[in-house]
Amino acid sequence: MSFKVICDIVQQLLSENIPKDSHPILSLAKTDKERAAAKSRCEDLDENVDGSMVTLDRNQRRIWLRQAYASPIAFAGVRRDVGGNIAHDKSSHEYLSEFAREKRLRCQATKGTVALFNAVKQHQVNIGKQLQESRSGYEEERILTQITTSDFLDRLSAGITSSKLSKTH
C-alpha cells in the first residue's frame, strides 16, 4: 500500500462521527448502557417518593441500597423532617446496638481462633516432649493414640490445658 492510501483511510476514520454513548470495547458499551438505564430508573423512583418525614438522608440511604452500597451507621437512624430538624428514630438505637454486637462477635471469634491455635501448639509441644522421653516404639504408639479428637475438644472447651491434665494422670 502506498502512503496516500493509508492517509486517506486515516482521514476517513478521523472524520467519522462517533456517538458519545458508544464504547470502543463492545462488552463495556453494553454494561455502560445498563448502568445508565439503572441510574435513570433510580432517579425516577426517587422523584416519586413523598411523605413529610422522608428526607435527604433516607433518600440517600435508599439510593445506596439500590446501588448495593452499605450505608454508614451514622445515616441509619437519623431522619430529618421537612424543616431540616433532626428527628431521631426509635431504630437508631437498634442500628447502633447491632453494630456493637457485630463488633463483639468479631472480637469473640478472634479470641476463640487464637485460643484454638494456642491449644494446638501447646498440645504439639507436649506430645513432642513425651515422644523424646519415650524409650520404645510401644510407648510412642501409646502416646500418639492416647488422646482422641473428642478429648482434645473437651479439654479446649473446659479450659483445661493439657499440661494440667498430664500432671493429674
| DSSP notation for 16-74 | S---TT--SSHHHHHHHHHHHHHHHHHHHHHHH---SS--HHHHHHHHHHHTTPPPPHH
Rounded to a whole number, what is the distance in angstroms from the first to the last CA of the chain?
94
The residue among 47 and 133 whose pLDDT is bigger is 133
- Summary mean pLDDT of the chain: 73
pLDDT band at 169 (very low <50, low <70, confident <90, very high): very low
Q: 58 is written with which cell numbers?
A: 433516607
**Cα–Cα separations (whole angstroms), residue 84 to 48, 55, 76, 144:** 20, 8, 17, 71
3 or 63, greater pLDDT: 3
Domain ranges of the chain: 3-90, 93-168
**What is the C-alpha separation between 111 and 61, in angstroms, rounded?**
34
What pLDDT band is residue 160 in, cutting at 50, 70 and 90?
low
pLDDT of residue 136: 85
pLDDT tens string 69-107:
554 544 444 454 445 454 445 566 676 777 788 888 889
Lowest mean pLDDT segment, chosen from 15-24, 43-52, 61-70, 154-163: 43-52
Angle formed at CA 15 by CA 12 and CA 20, multiple of 5 degrees: 125
Answer yes or no: is pLDDT of 126 > 70: yes
Asked whether residue 10 carries a pLDDT value surpassing 50, the answer given is yes
How many Å apart are CA 169 and CA 157, to the nearest integer?
19
**99, three cell numbers:** 453494630
**Predicted TM-score (pTM) of this structure:** 0.37
- pLDDT confidence of residue 110: 92
Average pLDDT rounded to a whole number, residues 110-139:
88
CB 87 within 8 A of CB 81: yes
H helix runs in 67-160, sequence order:
73-76, 91-133, 137-146, 149-158
User: What is the predicted pLDDT for the residue at 81?
Assistant: 47
pLDDT in tens, 108-118: 999 988 988 88
Q: Of 132, 114, 111, nearest to 122 (Cα)? A: 114
